[in-house]
Homo-oligomer: A and B are copies of this chain.
Amino acid sequence: MTAAAALGSWADKPARHILEYLERVCDTESPDFVQPEERIAVFDNDGTLWCERPGYVQAAFVIDELRERVAESATLAEQPVVQSLLAGDLASALEQGGLGAVAEVLLDSHAGLAAEAFTARVQGWLSTASHPRFGARYTDLVYQPMLELLDLLRAHDFRLFIVTGGGVEFTRALSEEAYGIRRDDVIGSAVELTFQRDDTGVHIVRTATLLGSPNEGEPKPINIQMHIGRRPILAAGNTAGDREMLEYTAGNPHASLCLVIDHDDDVREYAYAGTSATNPNAEPILDTATRHGWTVVSMRDDWTTIFPDTLNG
């Protein structure tokens, strides 16, 4: 297959743009040649690699898990914050308890679970849960054009990382199946873990305490350096929470490529602005992209397909 055919779900113009960039950095004769070990590509997950509407997939998981726990605990069921969450009314929950109380209720659902047990719960849930509008498994609602891009980058000796505001262990539970991205190549928000030794051996166990800040905004490039130890040359995102990661990538002395996915297709997916999940006053990411000359990808105009054929067929 030719490189152009590899981007079969992309319109000509963005496909040519990506291919020209890859030729610039991968051709040993090019003045912009980049050694393979420096070819680091980082991808936001929610809204960049898979569908994040009507709500984050991880939120649907945690609410379902909370529902199971409530069935076993009258004390939990009586809490107004819990009742609002289960009714899908996040606004009331926040009014009743503030962000701290809401986060505590949600994180507490998995505190005390060993890492492996948590992964098994996520994978069990993903195997049965389905999207409210598309009726498909969430792991089938990945963007076909981005899967093609990941494959093309791998073929060009890029190292691919997910850098998500979502939970690192949640995302790892699906990254290999959904994207072929290794668990150790996922960077995300995390809870503190503890070491426990008992009769059955030693275990690494989840707590209900967030480790540092959520992985959005400035923490994204900080955690990229912390985890990867190199500045990326390619980054893709879709909200203001990805801005700092994109800026960090754009500042690479090597030639870089920054992609911003514009959700402008409410027929085939959703249409919404790329606002930040944690900072409502942040500049819209499309404005930042225009200012810096980053590549904006219109889902409506630039992607001939949104989801894999297995879903459409």
Residues of A near any B CB (own CB < 8 A): 37, 115-116, 119, 159, 161, 168-169, 172, 176, 182-186, 190, 193-195, 197, 200-204, 211, 218-219, 221-222, 224-231, 244, 247-248, 250-251
A195 contact set on B, CB distance < 8 A: 218-219, 221-222, 244
Q: How far is the CB of A122 from chain B (nearest CB, A)?
A: 12
Q: Which 3 A-B pairs have the closest CB atoms?
A: A201-B251, A183-B229, A195-B218
With A190-B226, A221-B195, A229-B172 as contacts: A202 and B248 at CB distance below 8 Å? yes
Report whether B159 and A229 are in contact in the complex, using a CB–CB cutoff of 8 Å.
no
Which B-chain residue is minimally distant from A195 (CB atoms)?
Answer: B218
Decide if A184 touches B225 in the complex (CB within 8 Å). Answer: no
Residue from the list B119, B184, B219, B224 in contact with A159, Cβ < 8 A = B184
Is A193 in contact with B115, judged by CB distance below 8 angstroms? no
Q: Are B116 and A201 in contact (CB under 8 A)?
A: no
Given known A-B contacts A37-B182, A195-B218, A197-B247, A229 and B176 have beta carbons under 8 A apart: no
Contact partners of A201 in chain B: CB under 8 A: 247, 250-251
Complex interface: chain B residues within 8 A of A184 (CB): 159, 161, 184-185, 227-230
Residue contact A202 to B244, C-beta cutoff 8 Å = yes
Q: A202-B248, A222-B204, A244-B202 are in contact. Are A228 and B183 (CB under 8 A)?
A: yes
Q: How far is the CA of A203 from the CA of B203 in the complex (A)?
A: 37
* Cα-based distance from A228 to B201 in the complex (angstroms): 20
Q: How far is the CA of A145 from the CA of B201 in the complex (A)?
A: 30
Q: How far is the CA of A218 from the CA of B192 in the complex (A)?
A: 13
Chain B residue with minimal CB distance to A220?
B195
A172 to B176, CA, bound (A): 25
Q: Add 12 more A-B contacts to A119-B229, A183-B230 (CB < 8 A).
A: A159-B184, A169-B229, A183-B229, A184-B228, A186-B229, A193-B225, A195-B218, A195-B221, A195-B244, A202-B248, A202-B251, A204-B248
Smallest CB–CB gap between A248 and chain B, Å? 5
Find out whether the CB atom of A168 lies under 8 angstroms from the CB atom of B222.
Answer: no
CB distance from A284 to the nearest CB of B (A): 18
**What residues of chain B lie closer than 8 Å to A227, measured between beta carbons?**
184, 227
CA distance A172 to B228 in the complex (A): 10
Q: What's the minimum C-beta distance from A170 to chain B, rounded to whole angstroms?
A: 11
Q: Could you show 14 A-B contacts with beta carbons less than 8 Å apart?
A: A37-B176, A115-B225, A115-B229, A115-B231, A159-B184, A172-B229, A184-B185, A190-B226, A193-B222, A195-B219, A204-B225, A204-B248, A211-B226, A227-B227
